[in-house]
Chains A and B, each alone.
Chain A
Amino acid sequence: MNQFNVWRTVFIVGAALGFGLCVILLTSQEPGVAVHAFFVGPFSNTYFFGNLLASAIPLVLTGVAACVSFSASVLNLGLEGQVYLGSFLGVFLAWRFETFPPVVLYPFIFSIVFCCSGLLAALSGYLKIKRNVNTLISSLLISYIAIYLVDALIETVFIDPNAGMAATPYFSDRFLFAKLLPPSDLHAGLFLALIFTFSLYLVMKKSVFGFEIALTGKNPTFARYTGISVSKILMLSMFLSGGFAGMAGMIDIFGIHGRMIRGFSNGYGWNGIAVALIARNQPLWAIPSALFFAYLENAANVGALLSDITPEIARTIQATIFFTVTAETLFSFVRKKKGGGAWKPSSTASSR
């Protein structure tokens, strides 16, 4: 990110928090307590802080997932469905192969989940190439199909009658990731998320494949001219995007829930898109960006617990961010019009 983008991001974050502050001041009876709970609460003890980090894990991964597809200029809006399918498959496989030792099972489950979610996304890529269907629309619709199918499975074949809600039975807790900061939810999936993000960063930054993705995103005609198979790149970036989204869901399940719960991942996909927008499609920046989103979510929850504000406040702030970030075009416009400020009359032509 260049300097301008950094300032732009700082401005967006600042504006969003300022807006949140206003809402709190307007709605709360005891603003002092509420503001303190909101801004300091999440960092006040290890439990809250651990939860904050834990809820950032899936967001980092969905953010990274969105980064890949956005870099190639194919818009994967089906992250929700891919997250959901990935989670369900993870649970299903953990059950099915209960007897396996975790060391064997993890790589096995990971690759299957990655591939299946990836293929779900790649299907949109395929439709784009073969039938010129807009990926934005097809990925969204396909994702809804996936969500409802999984819901149907959870509520019929796989339901746990004793759960009292639409959820599957737990799988063996041998498979759950180690907790890092008990009693909070923070789990070893954190490292996985970091590894995934960092590998993607390396691929995008240093590999020929990453270069091809970025070039295809910037000018597909030129990419074709240089000899890149544009359709292959479109498919592969959709596949990777879907794969990362699947990982996001699965890691969340294996780290926290231990079973599939209907609607547990609500918003991971959409927030991932916002994370990628703030990170300007740079995988490493997805980490702070996801942390910020997780912070908002947790601050609102902690605030609701310790004072009289409602958790919905996080939604309003997130919505503000969404608007500001997508008004990006407006910003670049302002930048164009601004023109340079400092004109130093130079009389020496030799400096050039």
Chain B
Amino acid sequence: MDSYSIEMKDIGKVFESNRTVALDHTNLRVAKGSIHALVGENGAGKSTLMKILCGLERKNAGEIFIGGVHKDIKSVKDAYDNGIGMVNQQFRLIEDYTVAENILLGVEKINRWGFINQRESLRRVQALMGTSCLSLPPETIVSELTMGQRQLVEILRILNRSVDILVLDEPTSVLIPQEIQRLFLIIRELKTQGKTIVFISHRLEEVFEICDRITILRNGRDIAEDPISGFDKKQVSFLMIGEYPGALNTKRPAKDNPVLLKVENLSVRDVHGKTEVVRSANLAVRQNEITALVGVSNNGKQELVEALVGLRRVVSGNICLRDRELTGKTVRDFRKAGIAYIPEDRTGVGASISSSILDNIIATKLYEIPYSKRGWINRKIARKNAESLVREYRIKGSAIQASLDTLSGGNVQKVILAREISSDPSVLIVCEPTWGLDHRSSDYIYKRLAELAGSGKAVLIVSSYLDEVMFLADRIFVIYKGEIIAELENAATLTKTTIGELMLGLGAPLSYVCPSDRQGETNRELPR
């Protein structure tokens, strides 16, 4: 073995701010021209290791060899000069810039007057999208994109740099299956060009699908490095967490459940207030059930959800929780009535990344009696609550006073999930419940969602991960071009293909199919 593209030896990293040892004599060797998986639980140190490779963090100890040559990578520019590029887990996009501007950031073609050549830029971006088969509207402002689209912008940006070593930190967690397949095509193509790829993901089926070799991290140490063919999924998850995952049971008694949250003829406009992106939607979220809302992005899914939590103005129609009319009420009223919401844009909308864990956890609870009295916060109770949630949800990192940006990606997710689920809502609306979570945490979240739904409450999940939808949901609504085109019961006869076709508007116009046999439901399982 002589031609390692990346060789990281005995890397050590301590975060002084919270005295965390993130990496402890960690080694990583990636063969040239291979696709290498880096896996581990939330907070294992995957992102930190890769940030060190890409000059975003400084190591405290250890050595890095690129193509066999000792290198000292001090900045992102150093990394680029060595042919290393990274797609970060946390997006690094300028939200007010267009897609094209973000992709070309730093490598713009400048004409002789010192201005950016707009037409040339556009042409380059379009060519890039053409060759990679990832297309996006190049002149859209990034803040208007969905999370999946933002991820594609990040990927395109790195592809444009034509680096030799490509690090992809959880690129698939926010993508839909079709996009993931396209990304895999690109990755394989890059491999045939002799490029080296480091791939981080929590979904083992993806790792097994495209990777050649695997390195497993646990608590900042590499505990295994081998060709992937030597493992099966069970072994990998055992090595990651040090124990076998328990069986997961999310079954609830199937009954004719009463409707908790009822949406009638709801119409909603887009951000500019011009076009109606949701038209006369009807939706019923039932007690004791997990309901799912699925749809391809930009089909009004996001806008509908925002209307359901009071964040977006409704043009016409009603939203009722039990018998209470909520249409036109403020966000506070929605929350008081018992609606909790976990948004897709976790760090932009669902959290304040520069605030502490504590502040993020109490931000929505502050208005209830034990947490505050007559306008004064009871810090002691708030702290207790935050501490118990940190323990309960295994939020790994530091004290509750630490700010959110010192947590690993998955742990940030957990803070938000913990806050909303623990507020004991009547209806919990959760977008992409398990984004960025490792297996153990996903299972825990599934369990909590099922418990919530089992205790007379209701859950509405909005997910692009159809396996998850099929696994969890009792009832599935499909939204297409702003209209709810189908309501399906999750019976044994229902297949992913059916849902997928409906989402693309390809299915027969079968409004409100309700197959009523539910005998097959014990077969529901996640592909792992």
By a beta-carbon cutoff of 8 Å, the part of chain A in contact with chain B is 206-209, 211, 214-215, 218-219, 221-229, 337-346, 349, 351-352
Query: Would you call A346 and B24 a contact (CB within 8 A)?
Result: yes
Query: Would you call B311 and A209 a contact (CB within 8 A)?
Result: no
Query: Would you call A209 and B375 a contact (CB within 8 A)?
Result: yes
Query: Would you call B364 and A227 a contact (CB within 8 A)?
Result: yes
Interchain CB contact (< 8 A) of A207 among B20, B348, B376: B376
| Given known A222-B351, A224-B331, contact A345–B366 (CB-CB < 8 A) | no
Interface residues on B, range: 35 or more
Query: Would you call B377 and A206 a contact (CB within 8 A)?
Result: yes
Q: Which residues of A contact B57 (CB under 8 A)?
A: 339
When chains A and B are docked, how far (Å) is the Cα of A222 from the Cα of B349? 5
In the assembled complex, B352 has its CB within 8 A of some CB on chain A: yes
Q: Which residues of A contact B364 (CB under 8 A)?
A: 226-227
Nearest-neighbor residue (CB-CB) of B218 within chain A:
A349
When chains A and B are docked, how far (Å) is the Cα of A339 from the Cα of B17? 11
- Which B353-368 residues have C-beta < 8 A from chain A? 353-355, 359, 362-364, 366-367
Query: Would you call A225 and B367 a contact (CB within 8 A)?
Result: no
By a beta-carbon cutoff of 8 Å, the part of chain B in contact with chain A is 12-16, 20-21, 24-25, 57-61, 75, 219-221, 311, 330-332, 334-335, 341, 343, 348-355, 359, 362-364, 366-367, 372, 375-377, 379
Q: How far is the CB of B416 from chain A (nearest CB, A)?
A: 10
Q: Which residues of B contact A222 (CB under 8 A)?
A: 348-352, 363
Interchain CB contact (< 8 A) of B16 among A207, A219, A340, A352: A340
A–B pairs, 8, beta carbons within 8 Å:
A207-B377, A211-B363, A211-B366, A215-B352, A225-B349, A227-B330, A339-B59, A340-B14
Interchain CB contact (< 8 A) of A345 among B58, B61, B379: B61
When chains A and B are docked, how far (Å) is the Cα of A228 from the Cα of B330? 9
Interchain CB contact (< 8 A) of B377 among A211, A224, A225, A339: A211
| Given known A208-B367, A211-B377, contact A225–B311 (CB-CB < 8 A) | yes
Q: How far is the CB of A331 from chain B (nearest CB, A)?
A: 15
Query: Would you call B219 and A349 a contact (CB within 8 A)?
Result: yes
Q: How far is the CB of B106 from chain A (nearest CB, A)?
A: 17
Query: Would you call B355 and A218 a contact (CB within 8 A)?
Result: yes
Q: Which residues of B contact A228 (CB under 8 A)?
A: 332
| Given known A215-B355, A227-B335, contact A339–B58 (CB-CB < 8 A) | yes
Query: Would you call A219 and B376 a contact (CB within 8 A)?
Result: no
Given A227-B330, A352-B220, 11 more pairs with CB closer than 8 A: A206-B379, A208-B376, A215-B355, A221-B348, A222-B348, A228-B332, A345-B12, A345-B25, A345-B61, A352-B21, A352-B219
When chains A and B are docked, how far (Å) is the Cα of A343 from the Cα of B352? 31
Query: Would you call A206 and B376 a contact (CB within 8 A)?
Result: yes
| Given known A208-B367, A225-B311, A225-B341, contact A349–B14 (CB-CB < 8 A) | no
Query: Would you call A343 and B355 a contact (CB within 8 A)?
Result: no
